[in-house]
Amino acid sequence: MKAILALADGTTFEGESFGVAGETIGEIVFNTSMTGYQEILTDPSYKGQIVTMTYPLIGNYGWNKFDTESAKPQVEGLIVREYSQHHSNWRSEGNLGDYLIEHGIIGIHGIDTRALTKRLRTNGVMEGTISTENLKSELLVKKAQKFGGIEGQDLVKKVTCTSIYKWENPTKKKHRVVAIDFGIKHNILRMLQKHHCESLIVPAKTSADEILAMDPDGIFLSNGPGDPDAIDYGIKTIRSLIGKKPIFGICLGHQLMSLAIGAKTFKLKFGHRGANHPVQDIDTKQIEITSQNHGFCVDIDSLPNSAKITHINLNDQTLEGIELTDSPTFSVQYHPEASPGPHDASHLFQKFSDLMSKDYA
C-alpha cells in the first residue's frame, strides 16, 4: 500500500506502508542504532515522536515478548529504508509488520532515510505526517505544520502508570526503592532487581509525602517523554525529596532533578538517539559508549554551585551527568541500563546501591 511522509518544511517522501493503514502525526526524529528496534518502539520516551532508523535493514529478526521496554509500542510511527518481512531468530514470534498492525502503529519503508536524516541534522527535528489514506502532499504538509510540536506538552501523563505496583522480587532483597514512573523502561527495573532492589513503581503525580511514607532506602527518577519544563508537579516533588533519601535519576529524571535545583533545560537541534554515543567520566577520564534517547538537555552554565559535573558528551560537549555535593543524589542523561547497546555504564546501579547502604541519619 502506498504511503506518504510529509514534513513541516514542505519536503515529502513516497514509500510503502508495512504497519496499519491510516494517518499519524508526530515529531520526526532519528535513531542510529543498528539493532534494538523493538526496544526503541516500546520505549515510553518516544511518545509523541515518529522514529526514523538510520540503519537500512529493519525487521530481519522479527519480534519477541522478552525485548519490550513497556507493555506496548509507544512511538507514533516508524520510518525505515528497507523492511524485512522475512525474519529469522530463535526467539522470534512473528514479523515486525504484524507486530505494528497488532498495536495500531503506522510504518513506512522504501524511502531515502539517509536524505531524511541529513535534512533533520541540517534543519533540526520537525513535525511530520505519515498517511496511507490521504495522498495529497500539500494537505499533509499543512497538517504537520499545525501539529505544534512537543515543546510545552506534558507527555508523561500519557505513559505513567495509573496505580502503584511492585516489580518482580530480587532473589536476595537488600534495598527498597521507590521508582517514580515518568515513562520507565523495563530494563531499568531489571537492573535494579539485579542489584537486589525491591522496586515499588508509583505514578508520576505521587507526592513526596506519599513516597516517604513508603519508607524507601532510595528513590529512582525514571526516563520519560517530552519537555521537562512541562512536568511542574514532578519538579516540585523532587525538590521536596532531595536530601531525604539517596536519589538516582536517568534521562528525563536527570532533567527534572536539574530543574528542581534551579538549573535550566533547552531543546537540542536533533537530539541524541542511538547506542553509540561517547561519554567521558570527568574524574576517571574513562570513556563509556552509551545508549541515549533525548531531545532536551540541561544547560551546563545554569547549574548551581551544589551540582558537580560528572559526565560530558564527547560529540558536542553537552552535559551528561551530575551529582550534588550536599546530598546523596546523582543523575545521568544517558541510559546505563544499556538495552540496546554496550554495558559500559551499568556500574551506576552499583553506585546507587552503595549510596543506599550508607547511613545518612
Residue 6, beta-bridge partner list: 12, 129
Of 175, 195, 251, 311, which residue is the catalytic one?
A: 251
Which residue out of 175, 186, 311, 335 is catalytically annotated? 335
CA 199 – CA 352 distance, rounded (Å): 13
What one-character DSSP code corresponds to residue 85? Answer: S
Angle between helices 252-260 and 232-241 (to 10 degrees): 70
Residue 204 contacts residue 181 (beta carbons within 8 Å) = yes
DSSP string across 315-353: TT--EEEEEESSSSEEEESSBTT-SSS--TTTHHHHHHH
Phi and psi, residue 193, nearest 5° = -65, -40
- Given the residues 27, 69, 127, 337, select the one marked as catalytic: 337
Residue type, 337: E
Q: Which of these, 230, 205, 200, lies nearest to 218 by C-alpha position? A: 200
Q: How far apart are CA 33 and CA 315, in angstroms?
A: 16
- Active-site residue flag, 86: no
* E runs forming strands in the chain: 2-7, 12-17, 23-31, 49-53, 57-58, 77-80, 82-83, 106-109, 126-131, 165-166, 175-181, 197-203, 218-221, 247-250, 265-281, 287-298, 307-313, 319-324, 329-332
Q: Say whether 215 sits in a helix, a strand or coil.
A: coil
What is the grid cell recorded at 71?
Answer: 507493555
Do residues 30 and 270 lie in contact, with contact meaning Cβ atoms separated by under 8 Å?
Answer: yes
Going by C-alpha positions, the residue among 270, 271, 246 that lies closest to residue 257 is 246
For the question of residue 272 being annotated catalytic, the response is no
Q: Which residues are catalytic?
A: 251, 335, 337
